[in-house]
Amino acid sequence: PESTAADEFQKNFKFKLVKKYQCLNGLMLKQENRTLLNEIYTELYITEGDTGDVNKEHEVKQIEAASRRNPTEDTPIKCSDIFKPLPEQDKPIRRVLTKPLSEQDKEPIRNVVTKGVAGIGKTVSVQKFVLDWAEGKTNQDVHLIFPLPFRELNLMKEQKLSLVELLHVFFNEMKEMEISRLEKVLFIFDGLDECRFPLDFQKTVTVCDVTESAPVHVLLINLIKGNLLPSALIWITSRPAAADQIPFECVHRVTEVRGFNDPQKEEYFRKRISDQNLANKIITHLKSLRSLYIMCHIPVFCWISAAVLERMLGEAESGEIPKTLTQMYTHFLITQTNIIRERYLQKQESDEEMLHKLGKLAFQQLKKQNLIFYEEDLRECGIDVTKAAVYSGVCTQIFREEFGLHQSKVYCFVHLSIQEHLAALYVHLTFMKEQRNVLKQNQVCRTLSDVHRSAVDQALKSQTGHLDLFLRFLLGLSLESNQKLLHSLVTQTGSSSQNKEETVQYIKKKISEDLPAEKSINLFHCLNELGDDSLVEEIQQYLKSGAQSELSPSQWSALVFVLLTSAQDLEEFDLNKYITPDKIRDEILVRVMPMNRTLQDSLDFFFSPLRNLLDQTLLLSHLDSRNSSSMFKQRVCDDVPQLKLSPSQI
């Protein structure tokens, strides 16, 4: 009878989860059309293992780097299999981040951390995992799954309660079931990067009793450590920079959601767009613009592109088809604003007022590097929280009707890049309307180029690169073509061709300085948003001419930008063409190779033989060093002819 009662409870519990998770989150489709997740879900590319140390670059640049990564180096894993050993692993895995398995480490996989940049599909992966379990398709050895998003746990950060009480708040039906009787349960903590309470694994008190009261962060830490419910499975999702809050000894497997690979991008558009001819047009257009096609690794960007291009290519709308990020996001903003306009005919404020308030919110939270915000954050920006749902086309409201006594609502923008675009729009419009530079504490400002210089300087100073995409958008919004687009939403956008030239010259000056490689590349993207490709054209003409003169620092940066953004695979790169006799080859490699993982990965296919050769040569270290060196140099010339080097040049 006890087993029968547990089975009946599980059946009802699954039914409620199916009801909650069967429809794709409203972020992904028109809200009036509830679409089943299983109908449109496109498998994401997920890999086991970590790609390296914490990456402090802007996440868009991490996506660009991933697009160049050699897929043969990855270990793909299905989302439904993250708690299972891979086929080639005949023994359970323990600490995959640190060392080979020792005897004491041979334990089942208990804690999994899944990394991925904003909008890459982590939350949808969680939704699909839970739905498949609730529908009886996968992981049926798990008795219960408890999805506990950090954005909702944040609302309880001041509370002190037991694990049992916490589950009662989120899952009211758990009052009928004693959790300690269950052998295998899974806790899913989605969005570690959104956590707003401290996670101190060193000083937190130990809690082993599920009925003992403690702050939420203490319960969470003890669950992860295994003090509470040691047989429970733990799945944590996070953006990369926040994932290192979990100590490596508490992590038994790391996976990374890499978004869509190229075939999956096409599959998404063919599922999303019912007219296959139109889907082909959209795919062809995006493929012709590498910077946009790379962004399609992010599912949310695919959705944005589909929303914009479906209307522009399918309804024969007049106007230029978006070719830059700023154009794409500005068109998307107009589309979403029109939806709000159609849905709420009796508006109490203008589009301009709404965008100003949302932009201010976006800008203030971007400075704090926050992705989510609460009612008090909205009030600070003059947004009436009782009417916040009106903004749901752009600002997504996420709330639970059955949240006990806690009816507070959580807000976020659909994607970080939309927040960055709105923040840039706020800075741009504040200057145009009020001649103020909000980047410098609202100082009165004479020209738009002064605002641009402030933005360039602040972006270059940022160690995390959190202002890089914001800078691209801010500069792109100053173009007359984008200002014309905004005329339907705002007034006094003005024109600033002279300011544009001043900004271009300032960026070129910065490129000529000794900047970190990734900063130079972002400035080239900024020039691209401004419609200026003079440096790129200069280096392309130089390459075609076959000239032998030494390249300037700006030209070297331009050369690397051309290599990175070329749609064609690089089969040969002869450094001899670009080096004067008095220039040491190593100096050039120092300039070219630090383009972070992006260029290194793009050239992986002909540097991998070097790694193999180096491994072999190290084994010869007991030989005479001169002989070993000679052997290695000759092998490089023989095995890697793409480098076009003689032994004396190695």
The segment with the largest mean pLDDT, out of 19-33, 407-421, 474-488, 539-553, is 474-488
Based on the fold, state whether residues 52 and 108 are members of the same structural domain.
yes
Is a pLDDT exceeding 90 seen at residue 350? no
CB 82 within 8 A of CB 122: no
- Enumerate residues 6+ apart whose C-beta is below 8 A from 86: 48, 75, 77
Domain check: are 232 and 192 in the same one?
A: yes
Instruction: Please write the tens of the pLDDT for every residue from 546-573.
Output: 655 566 666 666 666 666 665 544 445 5
Inform me whether the pLDDT recorded for 161 exceeds 50: yes
pLDDT tier at 66 (50, 70, 90 boundaries)?
A: low
More confident residue, 94 or 315: 315
User: What is the 8-class DSSP label of residue 348?
Assistant: S
- Checking if the pLDDT of 463 tops 90, the result is no
Predicted confidence band of residue 457 (pLDDT cuts 50, 70, 90): very high
Q: Is the pLDDT of residue 582 over 80?
A: no
Asked whether residue 202 is domain-assigned, the answer is yes
| Assigned domain for 46 exists | yes
Mark whether 172 and 44 lie in a shared domain. yes
- b/e map of 428-460 (b: 16 or more CB within 10 Å)? bbbbbeeebbbbeeeeebeebbbbbbbbbeebb
Q: What are phi and psi for residue 113, nearest 5 degrees?
A: -110, 125
Q: Are residues 543 and 597 in the same domain?
A: yes
pLDDT digits (tens, 9 = 90+) for 259-276: 898 999 999 999 889 899
Helix (H) or strand (E) holding 412: strand 410-413
pLDDT band of 615, cuts 50, 70, 90: very low
348 belongs to a structural domain: no
* Last residue in a domain, options 277, 305, 323: 323
Whether 187 and 311 share a structural domain: no
Residue 487's pLDDT is what? Answer: 83
Ranges assigned E (strand) in 231-286: 233-238, 253-257
Asked whether residue 56 is domain-assigned, the answer is yes
In a domain, 220, yes or no: yes
pLDDT at 53: 44
What domain range includes position 584? 533-602
Task: Read off the CATH number of the domain in which 154 is found.
Answer: 3.40.50.300
Give yes or no for residue 391 having a pLDDT over 90. Answer: no
**Distance between first and last Cα of the chain:** 77
Chain Cα centroid distance, residue 474: 20
User: What average pLDDT does the chain have?
Assistant: 77
Same-domain status, 52 and 170: yes
Q: Which helix (H) or strand (E) holds 396?
A: strand 395-398
At residue 475, does pLDDT exceed 90? Answer: yes
> 164 and 63: one domain?
yes
The structure tokens listed for 223 are: 């669950």
Closest of 28, 3, 271, 37 to residue 135, by C-alpha: 37
Residue 117 lies in a domain: yes
116: nearest Cα among 166, 45, 176, 21? 45
Percent of the chain clearing pLDDT 70 (strictly above) = 67
Tokens of 422: 């709105």
Q: Are 181 and 282 contained in the same domain?
A: no
Q: What is the pLDDT of residue 321?
A: 87
Name the band, by pLDDT with cuts 50, 70 and 90, for residue 87: confident
**Pairing assessment for the beta strands 233-238 and 160-161 based on DSSP bridges:** unpaired
- Determine which of 420-424, 482-486, 518-522 has the lowest per-residue pLDDT on average: 518-522
User: Does residue 183 carry a pLDDT above 70?
Assistant: yes
Instruction: Tell which of 214, 238, 259 closes a domain.
Output: 259
pLDDT category at 309 given cuts 50, 70, 90 is very high
Residues 73 and 212 in one domain: yes
DSSP annotation of 436: E
pLDDT value of position 531: 86
pLDDT at residue number 627: 47
pLDDT higher at 160 or 291: 160
* Confidence class for position 295, pLDDT limits 50, 70, 90: confident
- pLDDT tens, residue by residue, 376-389: 888 898 888 776 66
pLDDT confidence bin for 645, thresholds 50/70/90 = low
Quick: pLDDT tens for 235-249: 999 988 788 899 999
In a domain, 328, yes or no: no
Q: What local confidence, expressed as pLDDT, does residue 104 receive? A: 42
pLDDT of residue 49: 80
End position of a domain, from candidates 213, 230, 259: 259
Least confident of 397-401, 448-452, 476-480: 397-401
Task: Collapse the DSSP code of 210 into the 3-class scheme (helix H, G, I; strand E, B; otherwise coil) and give the result.
Answer: coil
Give domain status of residue 107, yes or no: yes
- Residue 292: which H helix or E strand, with range? helix 290-295
Residues 185 and 129 in one domain: yes
The two tokens of residue 628 are 């070993």
Residues 149 and 298 in one domain: no
pLDDT at 90: 46
Mean pLDDT of 190-211: 92
With a cut of 50, say whether residue 194 has pLDDT above it.
yes
Instruction: Kindly report, residue by residue over 93-136, the tens digit of the pLDDT.
Output: 333 333 334 444 446 799 999 998 877 889 899 999 999 999 99
Q: Do 597 and 614 belong to one domain?
A: no
> Average pLDDT, stretch 359-375?
88
pLDDT at 445: 83
**Count: domains in the chain:** 4
